[in-house]
Structure 1
């Protein structure tokens, strides 16, 4: 049987892990069913909302090239103007429209509509809303991605891989924002 000291050490280790993670991005699948899922991510960054928003729309500087069709994230752009989109240039003059920009209030909120990656070939729709809220530590970035529709076998099994992919992207965004040399 473990000693009391062992329990205390485990408790302290757990507390250090939890407290250490408090300033990092948090992510979760908040609901998942065969007809859709919702993913939420939030993170805290020590910059003003306008700067965080500016980094977000410069998607080619933080998105992973591993999650592109072209193999190069610098081919990706978000145009936050009327009729704008989250686009990727392909070799030979081709393109991918990942999502449409359906709402943009620079420095505060952006909303995009579309299925990311392989979801694009199915009769599904996704809506991603990203908000930038000023607080005493800088800016809280909240992202919600809701996907609904029909996929053979259901959408529930898609929630975890999409969550993991978005967690990777938003961790990269946070790293870009918090690395002074990158700004």
Structure 2
């Protein structure tokens, strides 16, 4: 049985990590974190490493304190899970446990991995989260885009938990990227539509002129723009 102190330490570690990526959206009960990294490896190698989280996930953000217990089944309905090994304190053989971190929604080899679930302390809250990881070939390697969308009632202060989760997500991405070998991105992502609009927006129409309101800009979910490209 896991000691309560271990569980509390895992939660505290998540809440104490500084943000490295970006909280790109935040509401009263929701937030979106996003980060990216470019590595000097082909999508095939990146995919194989991605679906083996025991080799790059951070020990501090596991319930067992050992990332080698992490496992991922890259199939729809598959589990991103963690083994909780039995210990001498259990007093009997066969008391090993497990944790379901997320459930796989989409596994598109070399292209995209999408999973649903609340990570870390979010597991104790009635929130839903969707993590989408997309891989895009670039000159000399692969760009990894990592986005986590969380929504629902939570007892945490949203601004605080959003920054903490953002930091942990970037820490995991950094573990993956560091193992594969980070490189400079030869083709950085363009500005988002909302950013481009803010800089290039036309002057407001004079008072009295009636014009139809512009259609709202809806950004595509991260990853969808890659699914129509040929696979390497």
- Displacement after TM superposition at 1:167 (Å): 1.3
- SS of corresponding position for 1:54: helix
Q: Match for residue 69 of structure 1?
A: 63
Aligned in 2, Cα 1:125/1:43: closer, same or farther, shift over 3 Å? Answer: same
Partner of 1:94: 97
- 1:154 is displaced (CA, Å) by 4.3
> Distance in 2 between the 1:93 and 1:86 partners?
17
1:162 and 1:153 map into 2 onto residues whose CA distance is 12
Work out whether residues 115 and 126 of structure 1, in 8 Å CA contact, stay in contact via their aligned partners in 2: yes
Hey, which of these two has a bigger chunk of strand by percent? 1
CA apart distance, 1:83: 2.3
- SS of the equivalent of 2:32 reads strand
| Contact 1:44/1:137, CA 8 A, preserved across alignment | no
Structure 1 residue 172: Cα displacement: 1.0
The aligned length equals: 154
Which structure 1 residue ranges, 5 or more long, are not aligned? Answer: 1-25
3-state DSSP of counterpart to 2:21: strand
Equivalent of 1:46, from 37, 40, 44?
40
Deviation at 1:153, TM superposition (A): 4.9
Q: Which residue of 2 aligns with 1:114?
A: 117
The answer as to whether partners of 2:146 and 2:173 remain within 8 angstroms in 1 is no
For 2:126 and 2:166, the matched residues in 1 are separated by 19
**SS of equivalent residue, structure 1 residue 30:** strand
- Shift, 1:151, TM fit: 1.1
TM-score (normalised: structure 2): 0.64
Q: Distance in 1 between matches of 2:46 and 2:36?
A: 13
Shift of 1:90: 0.5
| 2:135–2:144 Cα contact (<8 Å) kept | yes
Question: Is 1:162 matched with 2:165?
Answer: yes
Flag structure 2 segments of 5+ consecutive residues without an equivalent. Answer: 1-19, 86-94, 183-232
CA drift of 1:120 comes to 0.5
Give CA deviations for 1:76-121 in whole Å, capped at 9, x if unaligned. Answer: 0111023211100012321000000010101100100000011011
CA distance in 2, matches of 1:27, 1:120: 22
